[in-house]
């Protein structure tokens, strides 16, 4: 029986990348995550080895070699929301830690994910360094910015940059990775937002200072709104605005909807649903603030699954070609 292609996942979070690759037919060998609460959620949903702790302290030689290395590495140094320090920020050194894994394990494929602003950071120089360092190791390098609503059939406006690199010894000369084509968005907000009554802690009641503002503005059940302290913003594109990690820092950052039961925040479960996680994905009994943060920090799983499926096809073709060449 043919051995499955194995995956090692750095900065695994709650497993959005892992689940996408698993659904595409890959075997998860190990994963690493630093955040303790994210590790609780991860362990509720996966059985393979999870190394909890700082990736910078990992000895690469202690881990099993894998076919695919994935890393949704820290985005703060490259985000407009951060200080835009790039590689001068100590967190930017995480990319160079990833290079240690590539050098030691020599995976067939390297899969990286980050915020879309990485592309233009420092006038494009940060991206040039990433591309140069990977190509220097005799890998291909292709990247694209994909939006969840266009590539995951989820009504969520979330753009992320994805980078895919193949070992040149494994693929034919001139190989380019073809990113998936856009697909029609058929799912609507109302397909993901059910209208049942939820716990009262998620509702904005009349004693809340913003209640009258919500009453005046939040009027449609097929739209998502955001409270911006001084005003309420309606998302008129009929998609969910980008979910962010700072949803875990206060209720005002969580999108708002209205139903017959009143105005309320999206529950953590619904936020995970907007990231494409299935409802059987287990959410542990930890604080809602932690779950909101995890949902906002995660990737959109259906987008990952589509990318992983394309990677799987490329590996299959490459191996078939090599097998044919060996028989000649």
Q: Which pLDDT belongs to residue 324?
A: 81
Q: What is the pLDDT of the chain when averaged over all its residues?
A: 91
Is 75 in the active site? yes
Q: Which whole-number Å values give the CA distances from 203 to 141, 200, 248, 251, in the listed order?
A: 47, 6, 16, 10
pLDDT band per the 50, 70, 90 thresholds, residue 228: confident
Assess contact for 41 and 12: CB atoms under 8 A.
Answer: no
- 196: enclosing H helix or E strand: none
Considering the entire predicted model, what is its pTM? 0.93
Catalytic residue, from 39, 75, 240, 314: name it: 75
% the chain with pLDDT above 70: 93
pLDDT tens string 250-292: 656 789 999 999 999 999 999 999 999 999 999 999 999 999 9
The tokens for 74 are 């820290």
Beta strands 159-166 and 142-147, pairing class? antiparallel
| pLDDT at residue 28 greater than cutoff 70 | yes
| pLDDT at residue 305 greater than cutoff 90 | yes
pLDDT tens string 31-47: 999 999 999 999 999 99
Beta strands 27-33 and 49-52, pairing class? parallel
Q: Which pLDDT belongs to residue 143?
A: 97
Query: Which domains are assigned to the chain?
Result: 6-185+300-327 (3.40.50.150), 189-296 (3.90.120)
pLDDT tens string 98-145: 999 999 999 999 999 999 998 988 888 889 989 999 999 999 999 999
Q: Beta-strand (E) ranges in the chain?
A: 6-10, 27-33, 49-52, 68-71, 109-115, 142-147, 159-166, 224-227, 232-235, 256-259, 262-265
Tell me what the mean pLDDT of segment 195-215 comes to: 90
Query: Coil, strand, or helix at residue 156?
Result: strand
Alpha carbons 45 and 272: distance in angstroms, whole number = 14
Q: Beta-strand (E) ranges in 44-141?
A: 49-52, 68-71, 109-115
The tokens for 278 are 């299935």
Q: Which pLDDT belongs to residue 97?
A: 92
pLDDT tens string 74-89: 865 656 555 556 666 6
Q: Which pLDDT belongs to residue 247?
A: 85
Q: Which pLDDT belongs to residue 81?
A: 56
């Amino acid at each position: 029986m043919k051995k499955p292609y194995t995956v090692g996942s750095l900065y695994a979070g709650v497993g959005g990348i892992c689940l996408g690759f698993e659904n595409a037919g890959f075997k998860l060998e190990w994963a690493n995550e630093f955040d303790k609460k994210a590790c609780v959620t991860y362990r509720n949903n996966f059985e393979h080895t999870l190394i909890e702790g700082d990736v910078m302290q990992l000895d690469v030689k202690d881990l099993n070699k894998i076919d695919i290395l994935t890393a949704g590495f820290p985005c703060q140094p490259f985000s407009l929301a951060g200080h835009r320090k790039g590689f001068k920020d100590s967190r930017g050194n995480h990319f160079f830690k990833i290079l240690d894994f590539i050098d030691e394990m020599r995976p067939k494929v390297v899969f990286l994910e980050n915020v879309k602003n990485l592309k233009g950071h420092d006038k494009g120089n940060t991206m040039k360094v990433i591309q140069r360092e990977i190509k220097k190791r005799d890998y291909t390098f292709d990247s694209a910015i994909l939006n969840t609503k266009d590539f995951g059939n989820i009504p969520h406006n979330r753009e992320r940059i994805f980078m895919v690199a193949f070992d040149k010894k494994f693929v034919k000369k001139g190989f380019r990775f073809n990113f998936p084509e856009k697909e029609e968005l058929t799912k609507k907000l109302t397909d993901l937002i059910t209208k049942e009554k939820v716990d009262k802690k998620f509702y904005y009641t009349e004693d809340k200072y913003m209640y009258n503002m919500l009453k005046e503005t939040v009027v449609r059940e097929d739209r998502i709104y955001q409270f911006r302290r001084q005003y309420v913003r309606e998302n008129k594109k009929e998609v969910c605005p980008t979910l962010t990690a700072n949803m875990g820092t206060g209720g005002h950052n969580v999108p708002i909807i209205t139903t017959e039961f009143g105005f309320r925040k999206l529950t953590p479960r619904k936020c995970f649903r907007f990231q494409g996680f299935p409802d059987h994905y287990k959410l542990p009994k930890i604080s809602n603030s932690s779950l909101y943060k995890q949902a906002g920090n995660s990737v959109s799983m259906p987008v990952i699954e589509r990318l992983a499926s394309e990677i799987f096809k490329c590996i299959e073709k490459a191996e078939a070609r090599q097998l044919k060449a060996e028989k000649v």
